[in-house]
A and B are shown apart, each in its own frame.
Chain A
Amino acid sequence: MAEILYGVASSHVPAIGAAIDKGREDMPYWRPLFEGYEGARKWMADANPDVIVLAYNDHASAFDLDLIPTFAIGVAETFPIADEGYGPRHIPDVEGHPELAWHLAESLILDGFDMTICNRMPVDHGLTVPLSIMYGSPERWPAKVIPLAVNVIQYPPPTGKRCYALGKAIRRAVHAFDEDLRVAVFGTGGMSHQLQGERAGFVNTPFDTRYLDRLSEDPQGLTEISHTELLRDAGSEGIELVMWLIMRGALSEKVREVHRHYHVPASNTAAGLIIFEDALAQIRDSLETVS
């Protein structure tokens, strides 16, 4: 049986990807950010999931204003790296897991979530930067990835409640998949930031800190935050935080926080990273200790 064992939430700032690609992790500007990623990378190497279901948003790469799916799942064998205007990042293509992806698509639709199904889906920094944060620069990504693109650019994005419920449906679907797979779910984007307008550069550290605190113990409460509150308190692009609730919804009620890092700034953004182990991972660990 496939099991969701881990949850990771991370910002996906393009400049972080560029810093990794250009070997700038040790520069004074970037060092404090990357120091906080060291523990996460060690943890990731140990956890070594087979598949990552990765909730992210496309930024005018695979989708444009002609087609704006609220939830889109990638079912292809491979997802190429998008050209966002700079030329594509020089990183490996992302390998999918079509069997689990199709199982998820079917299960989620029958469970009431009307997913858009995608084959041709170039992936941009929203998906690739969190992989780079967790894995560095491998020759090939160690896990298969199922991209789950969420519209957060066209207002309104799906509600926090809906995202959280989708996470729960993903959990049901993964646990009904008849192959032994160790699965992680990523929620990406955030934390507080605003790229646009006279308020560009907006950061709200007290809001972010509280969001990180509540994510383990009170995710239900976080689903009550309205879009307007998010726009106001987390910035216009901070509304991406709804995607973190997909990850949290996919985990057990009780989780163990194993890593947290928060740093301002990464480019124009407050960068956050938090890692949870699911109750199932803890049971597995204790069984291994006993045997």
Chain B
Amino acid sequence: MARAHRDYDDIPGTYVFDAEHHRKGYHLNMFCMSLNDPANREKFAEDEEAYLDQWALTPEQRAAVLERNWLEMLRLGGNIYYTFKIAIFDGLSMQAVGGMMSGVSEEEFKQMMLDGGRTPSG
């Protein structure tokens, strides 16, 4: 059964972590959660592919993680608070990831924030 339309579906560039996203992204997000544990961070650093084998990710989710395709992870059910744990692992700032998701460099993204952020009209 197709999911009924939600009144937030038309908000641009926004992935609401609702039931549908949760069901798609459960394993992806739980893998991300595991990176809270320093021992797991070490294992992931040693061999990303082998570490990912422990988690029931879809091939698309696995590729998105390995490629650090932040938008794709969101599309595949990732939640930003979870997927950002991979960015923390990589030593990336929230501005860097914000830039990658919106198609600008970290510097450009930082400047946009200094200029008052992305306004509702733009």
Contacts and interface: CB of A to CB of B under 8 A. Distances in A.
Contact of B98 (A66, A84, A200, A264): A200
Interface stretch (A71-79, A130-138, A190-198, A210-218): A190-198
Contact of A196 (B41, B101, B119): B101
A81 to B, nearest CB: 12
Q: Secondary structure of the B side of the interface?
A: helix
B16 A264 contact: no
B28 to A, nearest CB: 10
Interface stretch (B48-56, B57-65, B73-81): B73-81
**A84, A85, A264, A270: which has the most chain B beta carbons within 10 Å?**
A85
Contacts of A61: 36
A224 to B, nearest CB: 16
B56 to A, nearest CB: 13
Contacts of A60: 29, 32-33, 36, 79, 81-82, 85
Contacts of A153: 17, 79, 81
B41 A85 contact: yes
Interface string A215-238: 000000000000110011100110
Contact of A85 (B14, B89, B98): B89
Given A65-B26, A197-B101, A232-B11, A155 B117 contact: no
Contacts of B19: 155
Interface of B: 6-8, 11-19, 22, 26, 29-30, 32-33, 35-38, 41, 71, 74, 79-82, 84-85, 88-89, 93-95, 97-99, 101-103, 109, 112-114, 116-120
21 contacts: A15-B93, A60-B32, A60-B82, A64-B30, A85-B41, A153-B17, A195-B81, A195-B84, A198-B101, A199-B12, A199-B102, A199-B118, A201-B102, A201-B112, A201-B113, A201-B117, A202-B117, A203-B117, A203-B119, A268-B98, A268-B117
Interface of A: 15, 59-61, 64-66, 82-87, 153-156, 192-205, 207, 227-228, 231-233, 236-237, 264-265, 267-268, 270
